[in-house]
Chains A and B, each alone.
Chain A
Amino acid sequence: SQQGEEDPQALSIQEGENATMNCSYKTSINNLQWYRQNSGRGLVHLILIRSNEREKHSGRLRVTLDTPKKSSSLLITASRAADTASYFCVRRGETSGSRLTFGEGTQLTVNP
């Protein structure tokens, strides 16, 4: 894909376990953002990491960014059934103006 890859495409875990999702991209970025989508409706912003940052935390979320490898990961700790959703990484490229480009997404299922 020209947009980049996310893996895994689907992830099923038990409540209380950690979930890790990965995102790779091909062009230089200004920032990388993670969004969540429940049941195919609106998206909710989770966290934004700038190109000069390596790690960021927000509650149970931890995002890392490896700029030389052009990859990012989202870790959700102590998962809950309510975390079941699709998760997307969204890239804002250095030369793409206002364009926000979505990765393929990971469908996370957290079993109670």
Chain B
Amino acid sequence: DTEVTQTPKHLVMGMTNKKSLKCEQHMGHRAMYWYKQKAKKPPELMFVYSYEKLSINESVPSRFSPECPNSSLLNLHLHALQPEDSALYLCASRRTGQNTEAFFGQGTRLTVV
């Protein structure tokens, strides 16, 4: 199993809503990532978890709250988002070590109205 599964595939939420994005992998990878990608732009790193601990937060606003409840699961909790937060949110995982590739999910396309 070399899949990273993201749910939901699409999400429309209002600015006062609370929602969560979910990411799951069963490859035993201990590094997990959240990226945000706007149209025609490269993915931008948001968070990195290493061994279930937050290791990198790229100064992401607190309306985005990551959580890694176990080694297979990564969540991104969303609250009070703005329309400019509409984007494709990508999850990735990687076996720890210097020279290992990342596996990406298909993303959640988020629209904030």
Interface residues of A (CB under 8 A from B): 3, 30-31, 33, 35, 40-45, 48, 50, 88, 90, 92, 97-105
In the complex, the answer to whether A40 meets B45 with C-beta atoms within 8 Å is: no
Tell me if B56 and A48 are in contact (CB < 8 A): no
Minimum CB–CB distance for A40 against chain B, Å: 6
Q: A40-B39, A40-B88, A43-B90 are in contact. Are A98 and B105 (CB under 8 A)?
A: no
Majority-rule SS of A interface residues: strand
Residue of A nearest to B103 (CB): A45
- B102 adjacent to chain A (CB < 8 Å): yes
Cα separation A40 to B106 with both chains bound (whole Å): 9
The CA-CA distance from A85 to B24 in the complex, in Å, is 26
Q: Which residues of B contact A33 (CB under 8 A)?
A: 101-102
Q: Which B residues are closer than 8 A to A by beta carbons? A: 4, 31, 33, 37, 39, 41-45, 48, 50, 55-56, 88, 90, 92, 94, 96, 98-107
- Beyond A98-B96, A100-B92, A104-B41, 14 additional contacts (C-beta under 8 Å) are A30-B98, A31-B99, A33-B101, A40-B88, A42-B4, A42-B107, A43-B90, A50-B99, A88-B43, A97-B50, A97-B56, A101-B45, A102-B42, A102-B44
User: Once the chains bind, are B98 and A92 in contact (CB under 8 Å)?
Assistant: yes
A43 interface neighbour in B56, B94, B99, B104, Cβ under 8 Å: B104
Contacting pair B31 A98 (CB below 8 A): yes
Chain B residues with Cβ under 8 A from A35's Cβ?
Answer: 102, 104
Query: Separation in Å of the B90 CB from the closest CB of chain A?
Result: 7
Query: Looking at the complex, which one of A30, A44, A50, A102 makes contact with B43 (CB distance below 8 Å)?
Result: A102
Cβ contacts A to B, 29 pairs, < 8 Å:
A3-B42, A31-B98, A33-B101, A35-B102, A40-B39, A41-B106, A42-B4, A42-B106, A43-B43, A43-B102, A44-B104, A45-B103, A48-B99, A88-B43, A92-B98, A97-B50, A97-B56, A98-B31, A98-B33, A98-B56, A98-B94, A99-B45, A99-B56, A100-B33, A100-B45, A100-B94, A100-B102, A101-B45, A105-B42
